[in-house]
Amino acid sequence: MDTSYDAIVIGGGSAGLSFARHAAGLGAKVALIERGKLGGTCVNRGCVPKKMLWTVADALWRAGGLTRSGLLGPTPQVDMERLCAARADKLQSIRDSYRGKLSEAGVTVIEDEAAMSAPGEVTVQGEKLHAPRIVLATGGHPIRPKMEGAELAETSDDVLEWTALPGSMVVIGGGYIGCEMAAIHAALGARVTLVTDTDRVLTEFSENAAKVGQRNMQAQGIRIIAGCAPAALRAVEDGLELALDSDTTIRAEKVVAATGRAPNLGVLGALQERVKLSDKGVIEIDECFETSLPGLHAVGDCADRLPLTPVAVADGETLARQLFGEHRDPVALRDVATTAFVLPPVGEVGQPAQGTIFEEEESTPLAAGVRADGPQDYWGLGGSEAAVTSVSLVGEGAQEAVAWAGQMLLHRPDRARMLRALGVHPTLSEAPMG
């Protein structure tokens, strides 16, 4: 094994893969160390399997609304065996593709545990590897709530490997991960209760968009209990029992904790004391992704950026260019679009702020005329007369439209010019222009 490199990246998820490929493409000698499966959280336990499951749930949700209105026959059932096989095949094909691209780029891939033994030094497979630049791309892991019996709860990692669907489940946590798990499994046929200690769900999104998303979840049949921190979780004969307080309990086959994530920092060993963390508990970095330990950089979910795959990929490439090519500034987080894959999706880009001009409208889509559940649509524009700086959407296709909105906002369009663009009739897109 070679022991000297220009850069060593620890972690083969979205950020680490992006850094390694681009750094090698710029002529650097790079080693990538991954203790698990290539692709990290996004490919193996996150975005990709979630989106595949959501695709099935979305189809069932649409069909179910038409069935309940009497326009379609019985809602089809999910063949979980085939779905799991399709999921496994897709994930393996992605991992194989990554492996091939790393090989073509000349990246040395080492599949084993790594440990930093000193600045610029990584120990793996009994060898000490050296590089002037070490890049942490170790990602994060789900954390469980602090309550009695929390170890009985499952996490999003577990959910996305289920091979059978529960008849009932409780989700603890009202962020986008918890809401996605709730919406998807409600559409797949489970009786779902969501419990959150916040006053509403989807707190990552602006209030009015989130409230429409919450009402759509409730219309889907999801019971939402807000402002409540569960006290204990116990095993009972027919599943699990979640105690909300001394008098109130909920029973379900499965309880899922979606109560946040924490960075994977074990690789730092004794050096962890020299690496400063932000108030959010992730690694603090500067504009060049460098930590408080010189020569140590961090990208992806372990760093103090947005924990989103597109950000991780962009930051990995940006760091590679900063170190081995022409300088590039990190992408501005205010321009990053994001979506909660509930039903219908909630999408947003920009940061709606108090005191800015904000135009919005909630409407009933034409599809409600033939569906029994009648989800609501929503759009909102934030900014000033001189520039629109945020777009919020709730509706079918919001996950695609919000990305295009993000590209539009880079040019800071003014409201008057936006009025010149006409939407497609009859869709949500025409509403802001009417």
Annotated binding site for FAD: 51, 301
Positive/negative CA dihedral, 154, 190, 52, 61: negative
Find out whether 387 and 373 touch, Cβ atoms under 8 Å. Answer: no
Q: What does the DSSP 8-state code read for residue 4?
A: B
The backbone region for 154, taken as left when phi is positive above 0, alpha when psi lies in -120 to 50, beta otherwise, is beta
Find out whether 222 and 174 touch, Cβ atoms under 8 Å. Answer: no
Distance CA 387, CA 214 (A): 29
Which of 133, 106, 121, 131 shows the shortest CA–CA distance to 27?
Answer: 106
Exposure pattern of 153-169 as b/e (b: 16+ CB <10 Å)? bbbbeebbeeeebbebb
Q: Check 130, 327, 411, 425 and give the catalytic one.
A: 425
Find out whether 11 and 138 touch, Cβ atoms under 8 Å. Answer: yes
Interaxial angle between packed helices 47-68 and 80-105, expressed in degrees from 0 to 180 and rounded to the nearest 10: 150
Q: Which residue has the tokens 């524009």?
A: 381
Tell me the residue ranges of DSSP E strands in 249-332.
249-252, 254-257, 261-263, 296-298
Distance CA 286, CA 60 (A): 45
Find out whether 9 and 137 touch, Cβ atoms under 8 Å. Answer: yes
Exposure pattern of 249-275 as b/e (b: 16+ CB <10 Å)? ebbbbbbbbbbbbebbbebbeebeeeb
Annotated active-site residue 425? The verdict is: yes
Phi, psi of 16 (to 5 degrees): -65, -40
Find out whether 233 and 242 touch, Cβ atoms under 8 Å. Answer: yes
Task: Tell how many helices (H) and how many strands (E) occur in the chain.
Answer: 10, 22
Annotated binding site: 51, 173-180, 260, 301
Annotated binding site for NAD(+): 173-180, 260
Active-site positions read 425
